[in-house]
């Protein structure tokens, strides 16, 4: 099989200063892409600002013979997201790939989640992605080429106790991906998602004290960043024609998320009652023959 190359391409990776984001930067650079390492350097709770992580990653790529620049703006703001895209175009003349990876984490039971924390998590994940993808999409549309990769999470798609804000934000990334994939198709722009798991700062924060136990460390050590970064490299490449798909990646396993609807039950008269729903629940929830729509229009058009 021909080696996947990103020579001549320019990639912007948000949250690129540490953890999985850093791994994405190095993998894309190793395959020839010029990298905008975007990271404001906040702590996992969203506080603080440190330009060094982004600068260090960019410097290490350059030292290895690659091309990279750091951007430390705050993508959770409209101006910060636009600045990241502008840096890519200014320094490298184009923008081919966006990996929307930035985010923070909080862990509270649902009844204890403060509104300001919920809003902060949405800003640093979902709005940060939107603020970068919207201006990037315009650049890609003009070039008639682009690769958008949105980092989601199984914690959102399937749920995880304590992560209300994180789960909501990460599931929102799938909605953003869905629309970007549909609108990008006529312009050669693919939009895909990834649900990664790896032993990073954020994983440590989620696990808390358990992450410092022998069993906890052993578990996290099985979830390596190098088991995820190659999936992102594929999605960032010309070899990828897949779009509108979310990939699960951890522990050496790669799988695709299928979001579908059952064939359900249709009232013969077109009207129904709550009692009808209760009576036909086995048919409504039967997963046999699951339908996987490509859009809301597809679901409405299915002949069930």
On whether residue 142 sits in a domain, the answer given is yes
Instruction: Give residue 48's pLDDT.
Output: 84
Average pLDDT of span 110-124: 95
Average pLDDT of span 135-155: 97
Cβ(131)–Cβ(122) under 8 Å? no
Average pLDDT of span 103-112: 91
Burial 244-267 (b: 16+ CB within 10 A, else e): bbbbbbbeeeeeebeeeeebebee
Least confident of 43-52, 103-112, 147-156, 183-192: 43-52
Average pLDDT of span 277-300: 90
On whether residue 3 sits in a domain, the answer given is no
d(CA 233, CA 78): 27
- Closest by CA to 194, choosing from 240, 255, 133, is 255
Average pLDDT of span 250-260: 91
**22-56 pLDDT per residue, tens:** 999 999 999 999 999 999 998 877 888 999 999 99
Instruction: Give residue 210's pLDDT.
Output: 63
Q: Are residues 245 and 265 in the same domain?
A: no
- Domains held by the chain: number: 2
Q: Are residues 226 and 295 in the same domain?
A: no
On whether residue 1 sits in a domain, the answer given is no
Q: Are residues 240 and 94 in the same domain?
A: yes
On whether residue 75 sits in a domain, the answer given is yes
Domain assignment of residue 278, given as a range? 260-304
Instruction: Give residue 116's pLDDT.
Output: 94
Average pLDDT of span 151-176: 94
On whether residue 208 sits in a domain, the answer given is yes
CATH of the domain at 222: 3.40.50.720
On whether residue 28 sits in a domain, the answer given is yes
Strand (E) or helix (H) holding 67: none
**68-86 pLDDT per residue, tens:** 999 999 999 999 999 999 9
What Cα–Cα distance (Å) separates residue 165 from each residue in 173, 191, 208?
Answer: 13, 23, 17
Q: Are residues 160 and 222 in the same domain?
A: yes
On whether residue 5 sits in a domain, the answer given is no
Q: Are residues 36 and 59 in the same domain?
A: yes
Q: Are residues 292 and 153 in the same domain?
A: no
Q: Is 159 left (phi over 0), alpha (psi -120 to 50) or beta?
A: left
pLDDT-derived band at 287, boundaries 50, 70, 90: very high
Burial class (CB in 10 A: 0-12, 13-18, 19+), 270: exposed
Catalytic residue among 24, 145, 166, 234: 166
On whether residue 279 sits in a domain, the answer given is yes
With a pLDDT cut of 90, the percent of the chain lying above it is 77
Cβ(116)–Cβ(94) under 8 Å? no
Q: Are residues 237 and 272 in the same domain?
A: no
166 is catalytic: yes
Average pLDDT, the chain: 92
- Could you count the other beta carbons within 10 Å of the beta carbon of residue 268? 7
Q: Are residues 32 and 168 in the same domain?
A: yes
Average pLDDT of span 115-140: 97
Q: Are residues 173 and 185 in the same domain?
A: yes
* Boundary of a domain, candidates 216, 235, 256: 256
Strand boundaries in the chain, DSSP class E: 10-14, 34-38, 68-71, 97-100, 146-151, 189-196, 246-250, 253-256
CA 115 from centroid of its chain's CA atoms: 23
d(CA 157, CA 170): 8
Looking up tokens 């597809």 gives 298
Q: Are residues 176 and 77 in the same domain?
A: yes
What Cα–Cα distance (Å) separates residue 71 from each residue in 58, 91, 136, 245?
Answer: 9, 11, 15, 29
Cβ(225)–Cβ(24) under 8 Å? no
**191-219 pLDDT per residue, tens:** 999 999 886 767 666 666 666 777 667 67
What Cα–Cα distance (Å) separates residue 96 from each residue in 88, 138, 174?
Answer: 9, 11, 20
Q: Are residues 161 and 274 in the same domain?
A: no
d(CA 38, CA 133): 13
Q: Are residues 292 and 236 in the same domain?
A: no
């Amino acid at each position: 099989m021909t080696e996947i190359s990103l020579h001549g391409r320019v990639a912007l990776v948000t949250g690129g200063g540490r953890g999985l984001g850093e791994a994405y930067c190095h993998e894309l650079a190793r395959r020839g892409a010029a990298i905008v390492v975007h990271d404001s350097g906040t702590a996992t709770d969203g506080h603080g600002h440190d330009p060094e992580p982004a600068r260090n990653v960019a410097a290490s790529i350059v030292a290895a013979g690659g091309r990279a620049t750091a951007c430390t703006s705050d993508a959770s703001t409209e101006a910060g997201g636009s600045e990241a895209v502008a840096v890519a175009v200014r320094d490298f003349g184009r923008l081919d790939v966006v990996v929307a990876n930035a985010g923070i984490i909080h862990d509270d039971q649902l009844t204890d989640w403060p509104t300001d924390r919920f809003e902060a998590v949405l800003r640093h994940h979902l709005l940060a992605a939107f603020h970068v993808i919207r201006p990037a999409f315009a650049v890609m549309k003009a070039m008639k080429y682009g690769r958008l990769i949105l980092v989601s999470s199984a914690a959102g798609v399937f749920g995880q106790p304590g992560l209300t804000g994180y789960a909501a934000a990460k599931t929102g990334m799938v909605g953003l991906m869905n629309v970007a994939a549909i609108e990008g198709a006529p312009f050669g722009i693919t939009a895909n998602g990834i649900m990664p798991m790896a032993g990073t700062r954020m994983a440590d924060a989620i696990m808390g004290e358990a992450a410092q136990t022998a069993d906890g460390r052993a578990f996290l050590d099985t979830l390596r960043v190098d088991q995820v970064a190659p999936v992102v490299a594929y999605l960032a490449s010309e070899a990828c024609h897949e779009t509108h798909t979310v990939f699960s990646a951890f522990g050496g396993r790669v799988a695709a998320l299928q979001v579908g609807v059952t064939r359900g039950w249709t009232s013969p008269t077109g009207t129904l009652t709550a009692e009808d729903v209760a009576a036909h629940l086995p048919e409504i929830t039967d997963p046999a023959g699951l339908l996987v729509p490509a859009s809301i229009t597809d679901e409405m058009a299915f002949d069930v």
